[in-house]
């Protein structure tokens, strides 16, 4: 039996308002998410933690409402908060890859949601080659690192080999080149 069009649609519910996430973002969005997902997944092989990519809703305030978002990449470690297609605990890490239709929401509303929920690390990644890394400090996000990929070796600001790691999982590392691999 084929799923109806309504069943296939991805949505998010923020402050009681349902947002349609259709159509799907462009292929660059998926490549970046896949690159990050693979590196984290490999690093979590011997862990109880799990990494999800675009397929698990995060119920960020389950005691007060049924609002949810669907992060691009999310690491969870407390499996007792998994139920069906959603997670209601506090993720250890979330990354959002910007697209023209979601950039403002990812950098404002969703950033505020993750900060309030207590997510310790939040990455905002742009297909144009930038990565912003926020760490939760005293309940507020602080921009810890900000990179703009320069992969031309002859340029003075070449940084493709710069290594970034997850703060909660310092053994999980990736270079800027690996995050953006396959876009060209």
- Label residues 38-55 b or e (16+ Cβ within 10 Å = b): ebbbebbeeeebbbbbbe
Question: What are the start-end ranges of the E strands in 10-88?
Answer: 11-14, 17-20, 50-53, 57-58, 73-76, 82-83, 86-87
Cβ within 8 Å of residue 83, ≥6 positions away: none
Is the whole-model pTM more than 0.85?
A: yes
Query: Is the confidence at residue 60, as pLDDT, over 60?
Result: yes
Cβ within 8 Å of residue 88, ≥6 positions away: 58, 59, 62, 81
Q: Residue 39 — φ and ψ, nearest 5°?
A: -65, -45
DSSP state of 80: G
Beta carbons of 68 and 37 less than 8 angstroms apart = no
Residue 118: CA count within 13 A, CB half-sphere: 6
Query: Is the confidence at residue 77, as pLDDT, over 50?
Result: yes
Reported as a single tens digit per residue, the pLDDT across 95-150 is 999 988 888 989 999 999 999 999 999 999 999 999 999 999 999 999 999 999 99
Percent of the chain with pLDDT over 90: 82
Mean pLDDT of the residues in the chain: 92
| Cα-based angle 161, 166, 172 (whole degrees, multiple of 5) | 70
| Cα-based angle 39, 147, 98 (whole degrees, multiple of 5) | 70
């Amino acid at each position: 039996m084929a799923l109806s069009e309504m069943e296939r649609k991805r949505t998010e519910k923020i402050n009681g308002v349902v947002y349609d996430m259709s159509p799907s973002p462009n292929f660059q969005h998926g490549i970046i998410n896949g690159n990050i997902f693979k590196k984290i997944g490999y690093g979590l092989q011997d862990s109880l933690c799990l990494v999800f990519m675009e397929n698990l809703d995060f119920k960020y305030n389950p005691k007060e409402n049924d609002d949810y978002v669907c992060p691009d990449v999310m690491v969870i470690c407390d499996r007792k908060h998994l139920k069906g297609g959603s997670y209601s605990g506090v993720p250890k890490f979330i990354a959002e890859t910007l697209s023209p239709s979601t950039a403002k929401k990812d950098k404002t509303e969703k950033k505020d949601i993750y900060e309030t929920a207590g997510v310790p690390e939040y990455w905002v990644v742009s297909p144009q080659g930038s990565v912003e890394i926020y760490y939760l400090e005293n309940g507020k996000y602080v921009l810890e690192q900000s990179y703009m990929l320069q992969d031309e070796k002859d340029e003075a600001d070449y940084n493709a080999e710069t290594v970034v790691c997850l703060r909660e999982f310092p053994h999980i590392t990736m270079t800027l080149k690996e995050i953006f691999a396959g876009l060209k």
